[in-house]
Amino acid sequence: KQFEQVSASASGKNLTINYNSLAPNTDYVLDLGELIDFNATKTFKGEFAFRTCDFPPTKLEGETHYGKAATAMPLDFVPFNQTAPYTTVGGLVQEAQNDYPHWVQASGTISANSAVMTNTKDKLMAYFDQPAQSISIKADFSGSNVAFKVQETRNADVAPYWRTIRQFSAQDFPIDMQLPLDAEARFIKITAPTLSGSVTVSRLQISNEPVTALSENMLAAMRVYSPVMNCLRVEVAQANTVLRVYNLLGELCHQSQVDAVSEVALPSGLYIVRLQNDAQEMTQKIMVK
C-alpha cells in the first residue's frame, strides 16, 4: 500500500541510499547481498537497517496557518478557481489562492474544472482538521519528463515537513486513482519538482471514506514495465485480461489476451498501453527506444 522504493549504490568507501514513499516511524532492512570488503580480502552478507522519522508534531495555537484547517469532509478542489470554498476551524476566510485550506498555485490556466501546472514551484495543498482516509486524484501529463509527487504531513510548517506517499513518472500518466492517507495526516500536497511540460489536475479530493479495494490494488494487480530492447513486458494478476497497444494516432498496433505475463516486441515510438478485464482497466503511455 505504501509503494516503498529503496535502492543502494556504492563507490569506494561511500554507500548511498536512495528512498521514496516510505512509511513514517517504521523500521526497514535493505538486503545488499554478498559484499566484498574494501581490501578485497573478505566477503560478507550486507544489510543496512534504518528507521524513518515520525511526522512533525501537531500544529499548536500561534503557529503559522493555525486556525485555517477546513472543518468538513470531503474536500473537493472543484472549482479550482474559487478562493474560499471551505469553512475553517478558526472562522478565518481564505483571501488568496496561494493559502490554506484550498491552496491552488498553478502557472498555467486555473479554471473551475482544472489547474494546469507548468512550473516546478506549482502546487496544490489542503489543510484539514480531522483524520482523512483517502485522496482521489485525476491528472494528465503532456511533455517529456516529470516527477509528480503526492505528499502528506501532520504539520507542513515544521521539519521534517512532507512524506511522499507516491511519486509518478511520465509513463504512469494518465492518473485516475485513490491513495490511502495516514491517520495522522492533516496536510496534503501535490507538486512536480521535475517538470518538462505540463500537468493538468482535474480532480483532487480528500475524503474520510477508505480507499476501495479496486483502486488500492489496481497498480499492484497490473504492471507495465518500461520497454527493454524493444520488448514490452506486462504482468497481470487476473486471467483473461486483454492487452491493447495503440500508437499516438489511435491505431491499434497489438491485441492479445494475458493470463499472467506477456512480452510484446514493438518498433521504436510512443504508444498507449491499455489493460482491461472484468474488474478494472489501466492505461499507460510508454516510449520504446
Residue 100 and residue 194 in one domain: yes
Residue 191 and residue 237 in one domain: no
Residue 83 and residue 177 in one domain: yes
DSSP sequence for 23-69: PTT-EEEEEEEEEE-TTSS-EEEEEEEEEPPPPPPPP-TTSTTTT--
Residue 192: which domain range?
75-211
Sorted by sequence, the CB contacts under 8 Å of residue 162 that are 6+ apart come out as 151, 152, 153, 156, 187, 189
Give a yes or no: residue 62 inside a domain.
no
Q: Is residue 250 packed enough to be buried (19+ CB in 10 Å), middle (13-18) or exposed (0-12)?
A: exposed
Residue 202 and residue 121 in one domain: yes
Sorted by sequence, the CB contacts under 8 Å of residue 175 that are 6+ apart come out as 137, 138, 139, 140, 148, 168
Residue 198 and residue 281 in one domain: no
Give a yes or no: residue 60 inside a domain.
no
Q: How many CB atoms lie within 10 A of CB 217?
A: 15
- Residue with grid cell 507548468, as numbered in its chain: 118
Domain total of the chain: 3
pTM of the model: 0.71
Structure confidence by residue, pLDDT tens digits, 60-117: 998 999 999 999 899 999 999 999 999 999 889 999 999 999 999 999 999 999 999 9
Residue 235 and residue 204 in one domain: no
Residue 229 and residue 114 in one domain: no
Residue 119 and residue 156 in one domain: yes
Using DSSP, how many helices (H) and how many strands (E) does the chain show? 1, 19
Structure confidence by residue, pLDDT tens digits, 101-113: 999 999 999 999 9
Comparing CA positions, the residue from 11, 8, 16, 17 lying closest to residue 38 is: 11
Give a yes or no: residue 57 inside a domain.
no
**Residue 26: its pLDDT value, please?**
85
Which helix (H) or strand (E) segment holds residue 86: the answer is: none
Beta-bridge partners for 234: 224, 262
Residue 243 and residue 130 in one domain: no
**Cα–chain-centroid distance for residue 21?**
9
Structure confidence by residue, pLDDT tens digits, 232-283: 888 777 778 889 898 877 789 999 998 888 888 888 888 888 888 776 677 7
